[in-house]
Amino acid sequence: MNVESVFPGFPPPESAQAPMVYVERKLTWEYKHLVCSLTGGELPAEDTLNKMGAEGWELAGILTYSRFAHFYFKRPVYRP
């Protein structure tokens, strides 16, 4: 069914653009710090990292200091 069959003699309407709607939510970040020993071979396993990714954590940086690796993760938290 088209417009001409419902309203004969009337031209079809021009395409309309949907209005922009802005929702005010405050974006903050939540952080997680994970420390692993480089000498003991206790780096995070792939399944641990995949689980953290599924929970919304994103690796933001890695710092190695002495015999330790510091993994810094972040994820967005939206508050009204």
Pair 36, 44: CB distance under 8 Å? yes
Q: What span, in angstroms and rounded, lies between the C-alpha atoms of 48 and 69?
A: 16
Q: Looking at residues 45-66, what average pLDDT do you find? A: 94
Domain boundaries, the chain: 28-80
Whole-prediction pTM value? 0.65
Pair 27, 76: CB distance under 8 Å? yes
Give the pLDDT confidence of 6-53 residue by residue, as tens digits. 667 766 667 767 788 777 788 899 999 999 998 877 888 899 999 999
